[in-house]
């Protein structure tokens, strides 16, 4: 609502000025121009730029703007710097015009581009797509120049540090002039939770003239049609041609015809000087075709006379070899399991195959296996580097030629969003490839690179039938799918006997030193005869586990939260799990594709602290994560001071080698909230603790801990009151602490302190 109010405020013509020139010489944002909006959130940086830094732990936006006058010819100029890795949700938008539609420059996205958008209602449309990776590190200022010519032609220029001149990112001609346009200069900094993002803006200038780099060649006379020179015709295949011209052109109203085939569809290639011709019927070998292109304009809006060319299509004589496949030669390279939210693939789920060998491989009678069920394939043959996109027959999908769309009647009606194992077998039943895709993200496909998977960074949300996007550009984490090595993930905390109304849980810990994915792992209980019972896949664990990171698995997250602190709720996952027997059981964590155990533990209720008679609601904690799993001395009860459980974070009994030298309790320290903090550090686990307060006559006046089960380190809090609830008087008191173990070892701490 705040954003809408700001836009309406800035559209008011009362403060309009004929032009804007702002170098932010300071000292305040409002010094030189009537800036409005979130003025208190922006400031002038010491180096002389408009500066905004996003608040920590929040997702939102902040806007600052000033009205400018509207003319048929205008130029906006500025310098910007984003001192962070931009994404589709973490970027800068610069609104320059509002009428029936809004026009804005977006600085930053998953591809680190500067692009122009037209917002029709709530739907933004990409009009000029800028160079990728323009905003890559090292972060530096980029100059932006946007021109508006004759009321309907937009042209975007950029210049990176070190470039000799401006680069034309492209032009966009509006189909009709905007209704009652109002020129703007509004900066909207969009930021996301979990990142600190810094935005810099400098040297603003808005003029009512066209300021653009000179054309490389003189413009043709306005009354004459511009001449278009064809540089090259490339025959991509029997159904697609590519025309290379000597300049950027506008084909939004163009018509292309080929001989007796009539009108054929066209589109841009890699830029606006390349035109792709899509031919509905295969061209015949050795035949000549007449190609006509009309209705073309240059980027100044001038008409280009229609032209005709004669082309001849000849098939290549060399035929690639065809041979049976070996494992790994055809891979499952991309999966779109949840197309919801994608404009390119709104209803169509798909699985992409890629031939990574050097030979053509026929797929006839191969089997695509989903969730253990095989679906027979009729074809096609894949050339080296070729793609086949499998999807359910009757649904729509477009793949770029020469990739092949393969509709299948028995393709799953809905791929599981939680993740599933996909397999590919040849005609003889040989397993060629398998891929367990992680939990689906709406509108974004999972793509593979070697043994890893990552969310697609393509603006469409996926790349069916074409090379995968680049890993990591989206700001999303890569999901390593290479085999987890035994011992890299270990059991770290178990709750077999929860409180009434609570829920059992299993905590895992990543001690590998690298990020890992659990999507290919599973849990099971091992019987006394050595066999495994029902397998419970961890495919629902969608995020990577960071180095020294935790994952908590439970059947009921809310039931765990009712009794324990969840300091990191993002690492807690609700899954189907094996039942944990209260007294003893054997749990196995293993790789699904080959059954290799990653970690195994046979726990016993006897592992609890011997002083603890009731184990209900008390978790078993691993003491040293680097110690042996099947070591009774490496497990004990969670500390009472921690609520008898630490689900999803550092164990209360955590103790690594070399950290157990000091054993003691510190004197009480009065904190700002009026509580006394009594810190402790113990050289080993298994202690019980009693702490009492005495006055100088030796009379006990307060009790802090009564046979408490502490962790290996932590603190006790005391409010300064007596056992009767009265505040102790100002003066000197004595703290006496007793630590003892079941084997008879005892430690004592006695100290004087001041109560205030």
Spell out the domain ranges in the chain: 2-207, 230-312, 330-472, 489-642, 664-755
Calpha distance 690→82 (Å, rounded): 56
pLDDT digit string, tens, across residues 308-317: 888 777 665 5
Instruction: Kindly indicate the confidence band of residue 579, based on its pLDDT and cuts at 50, 70 and 90.
Output: very high
Per DSSP, the three-state class of 9 is helix
Rounded mean pLDDT, 184-191: 91
pLDDT at residue 100 in the model: 66
Least confident range of 76-80, 463-467, 569-573, 678-682: 678-682
**Residue 15 predicted with pLDDT over 50:** no
Q: SS in 3 state form for 88-138?
A: CCCEEEEEEEECCCEEEEEECCCCCCEEEEEEECCEEEEEECCCCCCCCCC
**Residue 163 predicted with pLDDT over 80:** no
**Residue 471 predicted with pLDDT over 80:** no
Instruction: Kindly indicate the confidence band of residue 114, based on its pLDDT and cuts at 50, 70 and 90.
Output: very high
Share of the chain above pLDDT 90, in %: 27
112 Cβ neighbours under 8 A, 6+ residues apart:
85, 86, 132, 133, 134, 135, 136, 473
Calpha distance 415→441 (Å, rounded): 12
Q: Which residue has the tokens 């691993």?
A: 622
- Token readout for 202 is 């400098």
Per DSSP, the three-state class of 632 is helix
Share of the chain above pLDDT 70, in %: 89
Rounded mean pLDDT, 99-110: 86
Calpha distance 12→486 (Å, rounded): 66
Rounded mean pLDDT, 732-747: 83
509 Cβ neighbours under 8 A, 6+ residues apart:
489, 490, 491, 492, 548, 549, 550, 622, 625
Query: What is the assigned CATH class of domain 489-642?
Result: mainly beta
- The vertex-11 CA angle with 7 and 13, nearest 5°, equals 160
Q: Which residue has the tokens 């100088």?
A: 696
Rounded mean pLDDT, 509-530: 89
pLDDT at residue 670 in the model: 86
**Residue 578 predicted with pLDDT over 90:** yes
Closest by CA to 375, choosing from 416, 410, 332, 427, is: 410
- Token readout for 674 is 């009026």
pLDDT at residue 663 in the model: 65
pLDDT at residue 562 in the model: 92
Rounded mean pLDDT, 46-64: 85
pLDDT digit string, tens, across residues 234-279: 777 778 888 877 777 888 888 898 887 888 999 988 778 788 998 8
Distance of CA 122 to the CA centre of its chain: 23
Q: Tell the CATH topology of 230-312.
A: Immunoglobulin-like (2.60.40)
Calpha distance 329→334 (Å, rounded): 15
Least confident range of 6-20, 28-42, 149-163, 731-745: 6-20
pLDDT at residue 526 in the model: 93
pLDDT digit string, tens, across residues 117-148: 988 777 788 889 888 888 876 678 899 999 99
Q: Which residue has the tokens 């477009």?
A: 398
Q: What mean pLDDT, rounded, does the chain reach?
A: 83
pLDDT at residue 6 in the model: 29
**Residue 735 predicted with pLDDT over 60:** yes
Q: Which residue has the tokens 């709750």?
A: 495
Per DSSP, the three-state class of 261 is helix
Domain formed by 330-472, architecture: Sandwich (2.60)
- Token readout for 175 is 């189909």
**Given the DSSP bridges, would you call strands 102-107 and 182-191 parallel, antiparallel or unpaired?**
unpaired
pLDDT at residue 679 in the model: 85
Calpha distance 657→677 (Å, rounded): 27
Phi, psi of 406 (to 5 degrees): -125, 90
Calpha distance 493→509 (Å, rounded): 9
Most confident range, picked from 93-97, 123-127, 157-161, 483-487: 93-97
Calpha distance 690→708 (Å, rounded): 6
More confident residue, 457 or 154: 154
pLDDT at residue 317 in the model: 52
- The vertex-315 CA angle with 314 and 316, nearest 5°, equals 120
Does residue 380 have a cis peptide bond before it, meaning omega lies within 30 degrees of 0? Answer: yes
The CATH number of the domain covering residues in 664-755: 2.60.40.4070
**Residue 573 predicted with pLDDT over 90:** yes
**Residue 616 predicted with pLDDT over 90:** yes
pLDDT at residue 299 in the model: 74
Domain formed by 2-207, architecture: Sandwich (2.60)
Q: Give 322: exposed, middle or buried? Use CB within 10 Å, 0-12, 13-18, 19+.
A: exposed
Most confident range, picked from 162-176, 441-455, 622-636, 734-748: 622-636
Rounded mean pLDDT, 526-533: 89
Q: Do domains 2-207 and 230-312 have the same CATH topology?
A: no
**Residue 318 predicted with pLDDT over 70:** no
pLDDT at residue 212 in the model: 61
pLDDT digit string, tens, across residues 339-370: 887 777 777 999 999 999 888 898 988 999 99
pLDDT digit string, tens, across residues 366-424: 999 997 789 998 878 898 999 999 999 888 888 888 889 999 989 998 898 877 888 99
pTM of the model: 0.38
Calpha distance 708→689 (Å, rounded): 5
Least confident range of 81-85, 127-131, 435-439, 655-659: 655-659
């Amino acid at each position: 609502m705040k954003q809408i109010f700001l836009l309406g405020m800035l559209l008011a013509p009362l403060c309009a000025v004929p032009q804007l020139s702002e170098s932010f010489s300071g000292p305040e944002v409002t010094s030189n121009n009537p800036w409005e909006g979130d003025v208190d959130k922006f400031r002038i940086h010491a180096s002389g730029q408009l500066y905004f830094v996003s608040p920590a732990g929040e997702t939102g936006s902040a806007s600052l703007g000033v009205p400018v006058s509207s003319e048929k010819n205008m130029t906006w100029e500025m310098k910007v710097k984003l001192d962070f890795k931009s994404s589709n949700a973490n970027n800068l938008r610069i609104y320059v015009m509002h009428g029936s539609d809004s026009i804005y420059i977006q600085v930053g996205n998953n591809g680190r581009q500067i692009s122009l958008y037209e917002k029709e209602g709530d739907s933004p449309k990409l009009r000029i797509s800028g160079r990728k990776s323009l905003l890559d590190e090292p972060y530096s200022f980029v100059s932006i120049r946007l021109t508006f010519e004759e009321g309907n032609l937009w042209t975007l220029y950029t210049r990176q540090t070190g470039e000799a001149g401006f680069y034309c990112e492209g032009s966009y001609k509006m189909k009709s002039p905007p209704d009652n346009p109002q020129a703007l200069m509004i900066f909207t900094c969009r930021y996301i939770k979990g990142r600190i993002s810094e935005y810099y803006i400098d040297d603003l200038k808005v003029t009512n003239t066209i300021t653009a780099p000179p054309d490389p060649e003189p413009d043709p006379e306005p009354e004459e049609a511009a001449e278009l020179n064809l540089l090259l015709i490339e025959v991509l295949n029997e159904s697609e041609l590519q025309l290379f011209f000597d300049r950027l052109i506008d084909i939004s109203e163009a018509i292309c015809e080929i001989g007796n085939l009539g009108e054929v569809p066209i589109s841009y290639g890699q830029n606006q000087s390349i035109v792709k011709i899509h031919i509905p019927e295969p061209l015949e070998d050795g035949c000549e075709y007449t190609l006509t292109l009309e209705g073309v304009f240059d980027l100044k809006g001038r008409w280009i006379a229609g032209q005709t060319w004669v082309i001849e299509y000849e098939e290549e004589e060399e035929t690639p070899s065809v041979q049976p496949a070996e494992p790994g030669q055809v891979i499952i390279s991309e999966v779109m399991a949840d197309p919801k939210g994608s404009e390119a693939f709104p209803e169509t789920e798909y699985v992409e195959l890629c031939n990574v060998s050097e030979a053509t491989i026929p797929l006839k009678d191969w089997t695509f296996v989903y969730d253990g069920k095989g679906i027979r394939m009729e074809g096609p043959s894949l050339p080296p580097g070729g793609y086949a996109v499998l999807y359910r027959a009757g649904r729509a999908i477009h793949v770029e030629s020469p990739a092949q769309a393969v509709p299948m009647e028995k393709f799953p009606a809905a791929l599981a969003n939680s993740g599933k194992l996909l397999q590919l077998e040849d005609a003889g039943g040989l397993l060629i490839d398998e891929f367990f895709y992680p939990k689906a993200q709406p509108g974004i496909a999972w793509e593979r690179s070697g043994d890893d998977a990552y969310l697609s960074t393509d603006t469409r949300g996926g790349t069916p039938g074409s090379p995968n996007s680049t890993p990591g550009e989206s700001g999303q984490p890569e999901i390593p799918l290479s085999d987890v090595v035994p011992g890299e993930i270990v059991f770290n905390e178990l709750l077999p006997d929860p409180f009434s109304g609570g829920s059992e849980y299993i905590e895992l810990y990543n001690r590998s030193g690298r990020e890992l994915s659990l999507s290919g792992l599973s849990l099971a209980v091992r019987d006394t005869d050595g066999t495994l019972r029902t397998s419970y896949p961890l495919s629902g664990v969608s995020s990577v586990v960071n180095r020294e990171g935790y994952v908590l698995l439970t059947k009921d997250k809310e039931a765990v939260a009712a009794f324990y602190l969840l300091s990191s709720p993002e690492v807690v996952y609700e899954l189907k799990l094996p039942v944990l027997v209260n007294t003893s059981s054997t749990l196995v964590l293993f790789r699904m594709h080959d059954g290799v155990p990653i970690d195994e533990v046979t726990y016993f209720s006897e592992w609890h602290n011997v002083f603890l008679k009731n184990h209900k609601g008390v978790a078993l904690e691993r003491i040293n994560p680097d110690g042996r799993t099947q070591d009774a001395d490496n497990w004990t009860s969670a500390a009472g001071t921690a609520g008898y459980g630490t689900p999803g974070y550092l164990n209360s009994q955590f103790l690594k080698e070399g950290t157990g030298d000091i054993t003691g309790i510190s004197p009480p320290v009065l904190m700002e909230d009026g509580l006394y903090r009594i810190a402790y550090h113990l050289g080993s686990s298994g202690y019980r603790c009693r702490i009492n307060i005495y006055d100088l006559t030796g009379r006990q006046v307060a009790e802090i801990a009564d046979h408490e089960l502490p962790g290996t380190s932590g603190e006790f809090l005391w409010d300064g009151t007596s056992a009767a609830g009265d505040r102790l008087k100002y003066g000197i008191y004595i703290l006496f602490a007793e630590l003892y173990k079941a084997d008879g070892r005892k430690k004592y701490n006695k100290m004087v302190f001041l109560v205030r």
